[in-house]
Amino acid sequence: GEDVEQSLFLSVREGDSSVINCTYTDSSSTYLYWYKQEPGAGLQLLTYIFSNMDMKQDQRLTVLLNKKDKHLSLRIADTQTGDSAIYFCAEIRYNQGGKLIFGQGTELSVKP
């Protein structure tokens, strides 16, 4: 299919790890992105991974990429209430002029 897909909701307790999953479609995508959107705000670039990498770690964030299955995940360690937001994964399509194709977004709810 043409869509980037994510589950819509995830609820975790403060201090637990969160794992947000995404499947993408374009095997030629060189970069895959995670954006964060807090209520009433714009999209903030969280992290990205280059397609020749399997994993990227940045403080509490770990991105895992499985190119064979076209599966991307974002793990947030020690999740805090401030992490409550909508998380979007996106793939870049160079054959369409560099367009970003977004998933529907996963709403992460962190309970104290």
Partner 1 sequence: DAGVIQSPRHEVTEMGQEVTLRCKPISGHNSLFWYRQTMMRGLELLIYFNNNVPIDDSGMPEDRFSAKMPNASFSTLKIQPSEPRDSAVYFCASSIRGDTQYFGPGTRLTVL
Of residues 45-84, those binding partner 1 (CB under 8 A): 45, 48
* Nearest distance in Å: CB 61, partner 1: 16
The residue to which tokens 């903030």 are assigned:
44
CB of 71 to partner 1, least distance (A): 20
Q: In what order do the strands lie in the sheet with 5-6?
A: 5-6, 18-23, 71-76, 61-66, 55-58
Q: Quick check: 96 binds partner 1 (CB under 8 A)?
A: yes
The binder of partner 1 chosen from 88, 91, 108, 110 (CB under 8 A) = 88
39 binds partner 1 (CB under 8 A): no
Quickly list DSSP for the chain. ----EE-SEEEEETTS-EEEEEE---TT--EEEEEEE-TTS-EEEEEEEETT-SEEEETTEEEEEETTTTEEEEEESS--GGG-EEEEEEEEEGGGTSEEEE---EEEEEE-
Q: Is 100 near partner 1 (CB under 8 A)? A: yes
Q: Is 87 in the site for partner 1 (CB under 8 A)?
A: no
Shortest separation between residue 22's beta carbon and partner 1, angstroms? 14
Residues of this chain that interact with partner 1 (CB under 8 A) are 31, 33, 35, 41-45, 48, 88, 92, 94, 96-100, 102, 104-105
